[in-house]
Amino acid sequence: MVSIDGVEHSDSLIRVRNLNKIYRRGGETIEVLQGLNLDVEKGEFVAFMGPSGSGKTTLLNLLGGLDTPTSGTVTVDGDEITNMSGRHLASWRARHVGFIFQMYNLIPVLTAFQNVELPLLLTKLSKAKRRQHVETALSLVGLADRVSHYPRQLSGGQEQRVAIARAIVTDPTFLLCDEPTGDLDRKSAEEILDLLTELESEHGKTILMVTHDPLAAERADMTLHLDKGALVEAAEQAAAS
């Protein structure tokens, strides 16, 4: 059950407490996140919506250990990541987080296979095992026949599938998706959303997704809105507006 009230839940996979993020640019102080609380259980699919500049991506970056908060804590599966050193955080990301970006962010000089293999190079898996994992991930996203294709030889939807395969190949604890359908046409977007839904429902993946697209948000178990640095549930948001 997703909650934003800050009340302790023993079965939370992701626990965020009093999260603040303040940017200082010149003499100006911008409070992007203000005392944010969040609890997400394993296997849940949560969508974050909100206007541009509301702090959605900042929240995602903090949950994924890409950035550090000004104050507050983020705990994932018992590990408090806000206290980790850069080195530990990097290895924690490799083991626990799968990232999916709006612009796919594939390495253009690598084939689909090699792109998906990238996170596995950090593990101690043998070459044969890596191959096996990569082929499984690419099959799961329906691209078993595109292993040798370079990103430029794939459509946008296919590129995003490769990015999803890269995100799930290490079997991470949760997936962070930043506008995964933002650069796709409706049909491709639907296919990607189908895939994410399948990952949640059939493989029990925990997914946190930032989106502007209400149709994408509909696929989530719960949609949270970011407003003035705080999270509100969709129903409250609707009532407020």
C-beta closer to other proteins: residue 50 or 151: 151
C-beta closer to other proteins: residue 45 or 113: 113
Which residues are registered as beta bridge partners of 66?
none
Map residues 134-173 to x or -, x wherever contact with other proteins holds by CB under 8 A.
--------------------------------x-------
Map residues 64-103 to x or -, x wherever contact with other proteins holds by CB under 8 A.
x-xx------------------xx--xxxxxx---x-x-x
Which residues are registered as beta bridge partners of 88?
none
Tokens read off for 18: 């009093």
Tokens 């009230």 correspond to 5
d(CA 89, CA 83): 9
Tokens read off for 17: 């407490």
C-beta closer to other proteins: residue 205 or 219: 205
Crossing angle of the two packed helices 186-203 and 156-168, in degrees rounded to 10:
20
C-beta closer to other proteins: residue 67 or 194: 67
Q: How far is the CB of 67 from other proteins (least distance, A)?
A: 5
Crossing angle of the two packed helices 127-140 and 156-168, in degrees rounded to 10:
130
Binding status of residue 18 toward other proteins by CB under 8 A: no
Stretch that binds other proteins, among 4-12, 63-71, 141-149, 199-207 (CB under 8 A): 63-71
d(CA 115, CA 36): 35
- CA-wise closest residue to 59 among 9, 16, 3, 2: 16
C-beta closer to other proteins: residue 99 or 219: 99
Q: Cβ of 58: how many Cβ atoms within 10 Å?
A: 21
Tokens read off for 53: 């500049």
Tokens 């994408």 correspond to 216
Among 1, 107, 215, 238, binds other proteins (CB under 8 A): 107
Interface ranges with other proteins (CB under 8 A): 61, 64, 66-67, 86-87, 90-95, 99, 101, 103, 105, 107-110, 114, 118-119, 121-122, 127, 166
